[in-house]
Structure 1
Amino acid sequence: MSSKVALVLGASRGIGRQIALSLAENGYKVGVASKTTAQTASLPGTIHSVTAEIEDAGGKAVAIKCDCRNPSEIDGAVDTCIETFGKLDYAIYNAGAILWKPVIDTPLKRYDLMHSVNVRGAYVMVQKVLPYFIEQGSGKILLVAPPIYSRFFKGKTPYSITKVGMTVLVHGLANELKGTGVSVTALWPATGIESFVTQQQNVPQDVMRKSTIFADACLEIGKDDAQSLNGEALLDEDYLHSKGVTDFSVYRCNPDVEPPRMMPRKFPSLLVEEDESLKLIKPKNQSKL
């Protein structure tokens, strides 16, 4: 049986790097995609350094330059991964732009960046992989996006628009994928996760977990039955708990302190009672107009 192949967009550092490493350690061939090709003192980690880590450990990977603001580069990353390894089983969108500020303090230029990298980039990747996955009758798509609930919007509405848009894509697309063998899932951390940014900002170790918890959740999602997770917006801790994990101490940044959970224990249902008497009215074909 041939190895599975995964493409990770946004894989040069932090969570994305760990996802790529963990997948490779568990037999995946990995497309390591990101726009970072040269390391600097202020921005460590590149597609080449992550690929080298994988290959030094005996795995197989290909470094793919991909600026997720550019649709053609996302398309090219998917094509390169398939051409290099002969197939694709798992597409993960971890690329992201972030600014946690209110509307009045978020310039349009910065909002446009978050929209382009977050929801638009995810949409481009999804549209690219869908025909391939549907034709082969299998494939998993994972977007790093949060469950939808009101508190998430507070103090960071512009950012929330672009991230929750990704979650809407997951919930909506799931309806279109029923019976295809293809699934789409959202995943988000339940606690703070250590990264280069948190290190630079001196975020206390006591409030964070290692990125391995998120990567382990991605790995388990890759193993799960495709349709069982189709349309789900999951949290790393809760999903791993459902798979039998009970000891989360191995993920602590501070071995002696369990970090506080930043996400609610329970989320509101987005389902409403359907009125079967209501029928969708399809517009007439206006292609000739």
Structure 2
Amino acid sequence: MQRFRDRTVIVTGGGGGIGGATARRLAQESARVGVLDLNHEAAEAVVAQIREAGGQAAAFQCDITERAQVEAAVAGVQAQLGPIDALVNNAGWDIFKPFVKTVPAEWDRIIAINLVGALHMLHVVLPQMVERGYGRIVNVASDAARGGSSGEAVYSACKGGLVSIAKTLAREHARHGITVNVVCPGPTETALLDSVTEGARDPAKLVEAFRSAIPLGRLGKGEDLAAAIAFFASDDAGFVTGQVLSVSGGLTMHG
């Protein structure tokens, strides 16, 4: 498939498990991919994989919590790859603690990365999409936003914010030819899951509990999420906006 021929897409957190898989999937379908990540080496590694496979991509080190860095990265993508057609707000971070054991400094970091960072990306990219009369935005939230998740209160709140803003922006910008949708991963094999489970008393037991609770019998993989994200970012979803899709192996079955 070449659904993204002549399209430029930004993927934040593009050096990670879901982000890397998404960047590779989009590039396989002929997208020019701007891979943004705080870890520049990780972003470069994904870009190298894409280029080795014959795709087009460029890496940009970016702390999405810093507005100036977001503006510089977006400008860099435009200069190297062209006008931005799609944005995948994927970057995220969490800690695994009961809410009453967290401290405000932890809230600040979780909110800055998971919510404020996405707001920066949206605020910088949306005006360009409006001007061109076209855009595809995909927020990567979490099923924690839809059903709650013990030990992830602030993270859940942030991901709920990504769902809510997607629905609002979908309404505000439908007339501009812009769609805004949300993909909600369930437990997925990523470095973030590893960091979350490290806070548990028995990480292996927690991971096995996740796996046992999933009807399809396994944790998600980055590629599972990439397929859903690619759909929403493509013109196949041109008449779909303001929607939320769980990709969780049946762990959650929201209507």
Normalised TM-score (structure 1): 0.75
Q: Distance in 2 between matches of 1:151 and 1:137?
A: 35
Cα 1:13–1:228 change in 2 (3 A) is same
Q: Which runs of 5+ in 2 are unaligned?
A: 196-202, 212-216
Match of 1:74 among 57, 70, 75: 70
Q: How does 1:151-170 map to 2 (within 5 A)?
A: 151-152=147-148, 154-170=150-166
1:196 aligns to 2:191 (yes or no): yes
Question: How far has the Cα of 1:209 moved from its partner?
Answer: 2.6
Whichever residue aligns with residue 177 of structure 1, its letter is H
Which residue is 1:19 aligned to?
22
Q: Say if 2:60 is the partner of 1:64.
A: yes
Residue 35 of structure 1 is matched in structure 2 by 38
- 1 CA distance for matches of 2:144 and 2:221? 24
CA distance 1:197–1:2, change in 2 (3 Å): closer
Offset at residue 197 of structure 1 (A): 4.8
The answer on 1:96 being equivalent to 2:92 is yes
Q: CA separation in 2, counterparts of 1:10 and 1:178?
A: 26
Number of matched residues? 236
The yes-or-no answer on 1:221 pairing with 2:246 is no
- Residue 172 of structure 1 and its aligned partner are, at CA, apart by 1.4
Query: Does the aligned pair in 1 maintain the 2:5–2:30 contact within 8 Å?
Result: no
Find the residue that maps to 1:209 and give its secondary structure. coil
- Looking at structure 2, the residues matched to 100 and 49 of structure 1 have their Cα atoms a distance apart, in angstroms, of 28
**Structure showing the higher helix proportion among its residues:** 2
Q: Which runs of 5+ in 1 are unaligned?
A: 39-45, 238-259, 268-289
**2:250 is matched with which residue: 246, 257, 261?**
261
2:214 matched to which residue of 1? none
Distance in 2 between residues matched to 1:75 and 1:25, nearest whole Å: 27
Deviation sequence 1:194-236 (CA, Å, 0-9, x none):
1235568553575313211110111111224565322112223
Indicate the RMSD between aligned Cα atoms, in angstroms.
Answer: 2.3
Distance 2:18 2:129 in 1: 25
Partner AA of 1:97 in structure 2: W
Secondary structure of the structure 2 residue equivalent to 1:91: strand
**Rounded Cα–Cα distance in structure 1 between residues aligned with 2:61 and 2:188:** 25
Q: Residue type of the partner of 2:47?
A: T
Q: TM-score, normalised by structure 2?
A: 0.84
Aligned partners of 1:35, 1:155: CA distance in 2, in Å?
25
Identity of aligned residues (%): 28
